[in-house]
Structure 1
Amino acid sequence: MSGAFEGRAESSSPTAANCEELLQQGAIAHPDPDISGAGVVLAFILSAYITFFMVLVVYLGGLVDSTLLRPVDRQIFHIQPYSPSRRRPQLHASVRKAVLALSDQQIVTGIAIMGAGFQGLRTGSISVYHFQIVLYLAWMSSSVHLSAITLLGTYLQEHRGIMIWRLCGMSILLVMLIIGLVPTISNDWGIFWWNGMVDGRTGWAIPAKCFWGKLWGDGVGPDAPLGFIILAISYIWKVGGLFSITSTAYNRWVRSPLETLLVLLLKVPATHSDSDLHPRLWLWLFRLILGIALPLFVILECVSSFAASLWISLTGLLFGTIQVLVPRTQMQPLTGSLENTWGFGQLVPLILLIQPLGAIMEHVWTKDQSGLHRQDTNHTRDDAATSSFANPFELDTGANGKSSLIQLISGRSPISSFSIRDKKQEMKALLFSSKLFATLVWLVQAAVVTICVVVFYFDAETIGNQRSNNWEFILEAIAAFAIFGFLMTVVLSPFSRTGKL
């Protein structure tokens, strides 16, 4: 092996010949506690999870602004919106202050650590292992901001200055993360050991620069797009929700046309189910179409809920955590105890986590002077910006309490409307009073849990060894949900208002 890499990787920039040799024999691992030390890793992960669980507790505790909650949150999950008359405004403001402090701290450190990683990538001084740690620690910082946006959507909309500079920071970090993911697409990235490797060496210790623009003949890893997709969905979902124009465009060009198409498809058999010509045949045709339409309605409602934002945040956190902790565990025998030694560089990041606690105490003990104690005057604001249906809480559900879905769609209900838009509103009120609809909503949550458990389990088991082909598990789980949802709807709809005459 070339002497250039007998010592630390920082000694020189790798050449193509060096990289080719290292990809055959591996490289010697060296610890770097400033990147992968226990305190550094723990500080990033703790701040991300503290923020997420703070948002989760706020959600379950009824401290989320009413404009951020959707019908699924209120009617199915029974989450109460925040109301100053029922909840302590000072606690509400303190939580906001703490989340803001955490997100402010992490956006700066995330950009800083990615900047340091790019410098090491440019000079060839950072290994695959340490660049992986840098990349996904910055991912943790990104997750903190996405969790914060989930909770602070209304507040940021009302404080444009605060929102703009945070969006600038998030945009910079997003670009850096996308660029940082580029070398990870190689099938040879992050392999702990392979046949022919010299004892005491590892693929994790190869300079990360060797993979910049190089696939080395083994192609792109099958799981490589997963990181890009999770990142893109997370940012589009959270940042897009801050602007009414994106919600309006989604509803106008995606959701509303799809819902209208489903209603029109259901209307044909619903209308003929009361005719003299094969009424039972038309009824079962309606139920078969409903087996496709109802799960789609459920998914459309679920993706607009606050709970969906929590799932997106948790998925990103778990993915990033696995990408950090599994390689670090694999490298412990080769890097020794230095990365677990608690020195100055390990303690400072953890001590800085006290800052949000100080923000909470400051807010609890002082009167609000910054406008954070916002009285929720929008408690009954229409949810039409994010849902093409009207708010079911504003509908007179008592009038159609005994009407079935077929009667509403076909026009045989005494309150049925000729307008497609009004018809969809009436349908929504009926669906949210249906146990079958609620069951399908919970089935979606179970499907998400199942996908996460299976994908992340195999991901953790295969990191450093082989590609896990997560796409197969994801597609199989989606297919299983579609089949199970279809069968459940067809079988149970005759006993529900959704499928009765």
Structure 2
Amino acid sequence: MVHSANCSTVPPSVPSDAGVAGAGVLLSFIITNFLALSLSAYLILRNLRSPLLSPIPRKLLLSFSDQQLLTGLGIQSVGLAKMNTMVPYHFFIIWMLSLLATATHLATLLALVQDFKRDWVLRWLRQLLMLVSMSLSVVMGVFVLKSVLHNLPPTLPIACVWDVPASKGSTSNAGLSIAGTIAVMAASAILFIISTWYLHNRNNQKWLKSIQVVGLILLAVMGVGAAVRVVLLSQAFGTPNLRLSDEGEKVWSFGQLLPLLLLLLPVVSSIELWRGEIRVGREAEEEEDRIPLTGKIGSEEFKPKDFQPLPLFGGYGK
């Protein structure tokens, strides 16, 4: 494989990378995941009893999800673009952060699936982003798996897995690491298939509520597992598995504060929306907000316009 990675010399240490594993970056992903899962749980459990009229929690959740999804795609792209210089430690942290992003946007899909179904643009945009995210995650998982199989020295770039022969020695938890990596890759593909079906499913059976509850629990476990792994492995909060030449990932610079400050944007937007509702009223939105994700509205069956087909197929779905 042709690349510019230096695989001939194993350095004793490597510099830190606060842009990938800094305290602010890690906390922004973890906090966003926690808030999104909490809002998703609130919306799903609230909808089990009766539809929520206010659009604020839904739009707040959507804002957190979009922010997490785009930053997750961005950091994965950076990791793959820098694989000739990035060591497995930072590469693995990026992979864990991408799992946090995946758990966030899938939890949002569970709670707001009806919003995506009503608009084909939102539905297929979400489908495209899910496909890109899953593809990048699987590619990164292949690198992580190969680095474990080859017992790659932790200070060599991750791209060296294709050039450095497998080492005879192995760590005590190599088997567990291999099994866990394969399981995560398989879970990413399975979740993508299930979420694709869920997103495009046109039926609104009551058993979809059970899928929402079970799916949310599984995504919460996935998010907690990835967050714990990141915290324990990172220099910012735990103990890394290699020697770093500095402690830059512990330093709170503006670059670390910025991701946390950006978390306030959805909150500010929600306050503005709430104030607008108070002053203007929301009669125009009230009818749409009364539509639940599943079931009935009072004595009326849940019908009509819960699924907007592609314009290409004008008669489809009528």
How would you bin the TM-score normalised by the shorter chain? Answer: 0.7 to 0.9
Letter in 2 for 1:120: K
Match of 1:244 in 2: 201
Match of 1:313 in 2: 219
Distance 2:261 2:186 in 1: 34
Equivalent residue pairs, number: 278
Distance 1:179 1:100 in 2: 27
Match of 1:37 in 2: 22
Secondary structure of 1:186's aligned partner: helix
Give deviations 1:395-454, integer Å, cap 9, x for gaps.
Answer: xxxxxxxxxxxxxxxxxxxxxxxxxxxxxxxxxxxxxxxxxxxxxxxxxxxxxxxxxxxx
Superposed displacement of residue 340, structure 1: 1.0
> Structure 1 residues 346, 168: closer, same or farther in 2, change over 3 A?
same
The answer to whether 1:144 aligns with 2:144 is no
Distance 1:362 1:302 in 2: 33
Match of 1:97 in 2: 59
Match of 1:256 in 2: none
Please tell me whether the aligned partners of residues 149 and 166 of structure 2 are also in contact (alpha carbons under 8 angstroms): no
Superposed displacement of residue 189, structure 1: 6.2
How do residues 252-401 of structure 1 correspond to structure 2 at under 5 angstroms? 304-328=210-234, 329-331=238-240, 334-335=243-244, 336-367=246-277, 368=282, 371=285, 373-376=288-291, 379-380=295-296
Distance 1:324 1:211 in 2: 22
> Structure 1 residues 213, 223: closer, same or farther in 2, change over 3 A?
farther
Letter in 1 for 2:136: M
Matched residues, percent identical? Answer: 19
Superposed displacement of residue 310, structure 1: 0.6
1:184 paired residue among 135, 144, 163: 144
Distance 1:130 1:346 in 2: 16
Give deviations 1:199-253, integer Å, cap 9, x for gaps.
Answer: xxx94332111224877166982333111122123222323212226x79xx9xx
Structure 2-normalised TM-score? Answer: 0.76
Superposed displacement of residue 52, structure 1: 0.4
Match of 1:208 in 2: 158
Please tell me whether the aligned partners of residues 36 and 104 of structure 2 are also in contact (alpha carbons under 8 angstroms): yes
> Structure 1 residues 376, 209: closer, same or farther in 2, change over 3 A?
same
Letter in 2 for 1:321: A
Please tell me whether the aligned partners of residues 27 and 203 of structure 1 are also in contact (alpha carbons under 8 angstroms): no
Match of 1:112 in 2: 74
Please tell me whether the aligned partners of residues 34 and 345 of structure 1 are also in contact (alpha carbons under 8 angstroms): yes
Distance 2:145 2:57 in 1: 39
Please tell me whether the aligned partners of residues 186 and 215 of structure 1 are also in contact (alpha carbons under 8 angstroms): no
Please tell me whether the aligned partners of residues 45 and 321 of structure 1 are also in contact (alpha carbons under 8 angstroms): yes
> Structure 1 residues 216, 155: closer, same or farther in 2, change over 3 A?
same
How do residues 423-438 of structure 1 correspond to structure 2 at under 5 angstroms? none
Match of 1:13 in 2: 5
Match of 1:441 in 2: none
Please tell me whether the aligned partners of residues 128 and 207 of structure 1 are also in contact (alpha carbons under 8 angstroms): yes
Structure 1-normalised TM-score? Answer: 0.50
Secondary structure of 2:85's aligned partner: coil
Secondary structure of 1:139's aligned partner: helix
Match of 2:91 in 1: 131
> Structure 1 residues 362, 323: closer, same or farther in 2, change over 3 A?
same
Q: CA RMSD in A?
A: 3.2
Please tell me whether the aligned partners of residues 132 and 323 of structure 1 are also in contact (alpha carbons under 8 angstroms): no
Letter in 2 for 1:376: I
> Structure 1 residues 128, 37: closer, same or farther in 2, change over 3 A?
same
Secondary structure of 1:97's aligned partner: helix
Distance 1:212 1:364 in 2: 54
Structure 1: where are the runs of 5+ without partners? 1-11, 65-78, 192-201, 252-300, 383-501
Superposed displacement of residue 104, structure 1: 1.5
Superposed displacement of residue 150, structure 1: 0.8
Q: Counting helix residues as a fraction of each chain, which structure ranks higher?
A: 1
Letter in 1 for 2:272: E
Superposed displacement of residue 315, structure 1: 2.5
